[in-house]
Structure 1
């Protein structure tokens, strides 16, 4: 797999991991019985922990990219595609 393909796949995998990680551990104002300010949504998370989720997405996407490249480089698959 070339460099450009790897970067494109990493980009897609990062967003996939990020969207999977977003709802994990998120609690809304309504779930925690916290008073909602006027103009705010009750379903909005109180502490989204976005930095942690970005780091999880970064590591997860790297591991998935590594696994994908390892599987694609297997000799049995290379023989199958020839």
Structure 2
């Protein structure tokens, strides 16, 4: 799930009006917000695990 949320809200250096310094890739994000994206990924994963656990507990789909 992390790779699905990585591109959310990304602003690259080429999209800003700031001058690009030497050594900075123009496609790299200005603010990667990795901590926020890890939190979003954790919440999505926990919800997914809860749903799968409920489906397994209620035997709605046979996983055996």
TM-score by length of 1: 0.67
- Give the count of matched residue pairs: 64
Q: Deviation of residue 42 (structure 1)? A: 0.2
Within 2, Cα distance between the matches of 1:75 and 1:38? 58
Of structures 1 and 2, the one scoring higher in RCO (CA 8 A, sep 6+) is 1
2:23 matches 1:39:
yes
Q: Which shows bigger deviation, 52-61 or 28-37?
A: 28-37
Greater than 4 Å deviation, 4+ residue runs: none
The unaligned stretches of length 5 or more in structure 2 are none
For the structure 1 residues 58 and 34, does the alpha-carbon distance in structure 2 shift closer, same or farther, using more than 3 Å as the test? same
Corresponding residue to 1:51 among 16, 25, 35:
35
Q: How well do the aligned residues superpose, as a CA RMSD in angstroms?
A: 1.8
Q: Deviation of residue 36 (structure 1)? A: 1.4
| Structure with more of its chain in helix, by fraction | 1
Q: Deviation of residue 75 (structure 1)? A: 3.2
2:50 matches 1:66:
yes
